[in-house]
Amino acid sequence: MLIRQKPAIRPSEITPESQYLDRRRFIRSASLAGSGLLFAAGCSGAGDEPPAPAPAPAAPNEAADLTPNSFADITSYNNFYEFGLDKGDPARYAGQFKSQPWTVTVDGEAENTGTFDFAAIVGPHTIEERIYRLRCVEAWSMVVPWNGIPLGDVLRRFKPTSRAKFVAFETVVRPAEMPGQRAGVLDFPYREGLTIAEAMHPLTLLATGLYGVDLPNQNGAPLRLIIPWKYGFKSIKSIVRISFTETRPRTTWSDAAPNEYGFYANVNPDVDHPRWSQARERRIGSGLFAAKQPTLPFNGYGDDVAGLYSGLNLVRNF
């Protein structure tokens, strides 16, 4: 973007990709798949409960290839500036980061506020599996089999008031464990925000894992957002604060370079970044000489989310 160890989980804990793909094929043939979303038992917190009813958002545009990237790609090519600027820094330096125990403070315009343990935040919800593409503003993308809970299901438990128009998020500040924070490469804490409608949208995921294991540190352990129709920088990692606000919250990248990174950050091939085109993207893992593929409006999720922005000029509100 702008500016200038040990593995977090043991290899034995990782579902081998072949087994993972077999499991997916099995789930499909057992007809548990619903309109592009799969619900998998056996993930942390899923217990023996039956799958939750599908929120039934449509699958992304047919042109969007949803073959997952390898676990190695997903966990070794990361943006997490708290651990450094290089894509390899998070995997290299996040091994000392402690993601348990974990608390999240919920404050602002809601009836139930306070500081909650990780388990209380996740609550009684069944952990789902969702295959989403993550399109980074830097014109690369990956497909990740995330595990998590719809953010809206979590937020509703805190009973936001009618004054809650936005939801703001903050990442943990722990310079002793995060070398990028010691180097001051950004104004930490990393901050992000969504409108309440975006936060409540059934596609918006509070992720707790990927490939069936808890989130590796470099991917934002233990809790991060995934908003699949927005550039990746909106998908804030290692969340410790959720605030319901009446006014639009500050966000890290809009503060750092407002002409380059907007609040909405909807994936839009027609609105170039001031320093590069957003029309195409490079799929990580497709090989150095592979052709770039066209970027889809809203990352292919337009049928589900374009309505959130009716009447809004998406060139000015980038």
Judged by CB under 6 A, the residue of 57, 160, 232, 249 near ligand MTE is: 232
Asked whether the beta carbons of 5 and 89 are under 8 A apart, the reply is no
Of the candidate spans 15-23, 38-46, 154-162, 235-243, the one that interacts with ligand MTE by CB under 6 A turns out to be 235-243
Judged by CB under 6 A, the residue of 71, 80, 158, 166 near ligand MTE is: 80
Judged by CB under 6 A, the residue of 237, 243, 244, 299 near ligand MTE is: 237
Judged by CB under 6 A, the residue of 39, 81, 244, 264 near ligand MTE is: 81
Q: Alpha carbon 76 to chain centroid distance?
A: 16
Kindly tell me which of 64 and 109 has the beta carbon lying closer to ligand MTE: 64
Binding string, residues 138-177; x marks residues near ligand MTE by CB under 6 A? ---------------------------------x------
Residue 190 binding ligand MTE, by CB under 6 A: yes
Residues contacting 88, CB < 8 A, separation 6+: 76, 77
Q: How far apart are CA 94 and CA 193, in angstroms?
A: 24
Min separation Cβ 201 and ligand MTE, Å = 18
Backbone angles phi, psi at 132, to 5 degrees: -125, 145
Q: What is the largest CA-CA distance in the chain?
A: 54
Residue 219 binding ligand MTE, by CB under 6 A: yes
Closest CA to 55 of 124, 153, 167, 199: 153
Cis check: omega of the bond before 57, within 30 degrees of 0: no
| Backbone CA torsion sign across 216, 218, 221, 223 | negative
Residue 204 binding ligand MTE, by CB under 6 A: no
Tokens describing residue 314? 């998406």
Residues making contact with ligand MTE (CB under 6 A): 1, 78-82, 134, 136, 171, 190, 219, 232-233, 235-238
